[in-house]
Structure 1
């Protein structure tokens, strides 16, 4: 079990690092939006177009990347919304058992399904034709727009990271359920804010 927990720690570290880098994406997105607005007003004043659809699309591409990379980070930190008022009063072992079952039955299969059904559309976006030949990348329908292939590829990246984090969470849930870790560690692993009940 300790070897599995080390794998879980490595996945946690990866998604923590990626999650931390999304702050830079937010700053870039805000800066691009600010520059775009200023350029639009200055352009109107001087009668020249200083902005383009590429800048607007870049802004929402960055927003999408931030959103995609947040999937695994949110799962790691248990920030998803819970509406079950019984859940908060359960012991860490009982909560971990419910989370383990949900992860194994729903989250992991969902991630795998999402990756499988996304591969062909993403490859088509990169120019892979149904006959196996390669054509042009899928481009934005807007004038001066950006290619769609890189942002569509982020869908696969997002679900691969989410799948890895789901596996890491399942390992931690299993460690809690099997009492491999102490109750204090169980509360820390799950980042539960409810009192620990032994």
Structure 2
């Protein structure tokens, strides 16, 4: 494979690995928010921002961690025949099926960008009593989708290289 493709794969994999390693600690942030929520309710001082903030942190957690999960191949896979195939056959099938992921991510990104633009243009807020701005969580959503798209393209290139017998290490 050309050096430019190898470099692209190395850069995307490295970046998503670092982002994933940082984001995985977001679960502790969410736990802290929920702990504060429980403590404040037990003292009869409920905070109306905790549930929604925890939801936003969780959305960032799984959206920004999605590319890392894809990179580690830790997503759910139906394994009726796949486990019996050779490495090369798996690479061919994965290269074909990942094209469907590209279509899905394209429409997800299109909707995400449109929704983010709306949130920024009209200063959209949540309908809750706290009423936070929605733009930050929507921006994180778009970034997560882009990172997943980049990681999927890296995996596609690695599968394609393996399928033609020139694996990218």
TM (norm. structure 1) is: 0.79
**How many residues are treated as equivalent by the alignment?**
168
Q: 1:168 aligns with which of 154, 163, 166?
A: 154
Query: Any conservation in 2 of the 1:57–1:145 contact (CA below 8 Å)?
Result: no
Q: Which deviates more, 86-95 or 1-10?
A: 1-10
- Give yes or no for the alignment of 1:151 onto 2:137: yes
**Partners of 1:78 and 1:23 in 2: CA distance:** 16
Q: 5+ residue gaps in structure 2?
A: none
Task: Could you list the structure 1 runs, at least 4 aligned residues long, displaced by more than 6 angstroms after superposition.
Answer: none
Q: Which residue of 2 aligns with 1:132?
A: none
**What aligned pairs does 1:32-181 form with structure 2 within 5 A after superposition?**
32-42=33-43, 44=44, 49=45, 51-104=46-99, 106-126=100-120, 128=121, 135=122, 137-181=123-167
The runs of 5 or more residues in structure 1 that have no matched partner are: 129-134, 186-198
Offset, 1:84 = 2.9
State the SS of the aligned residue for 2:131. Answer: coil
TM-score for both structures, normalised by structure 2: 0.91
Given that 1:7 and 1:168 are in contact with CA atoms closer than 8 Å, whether structure 2 keeps it comes out as: yes
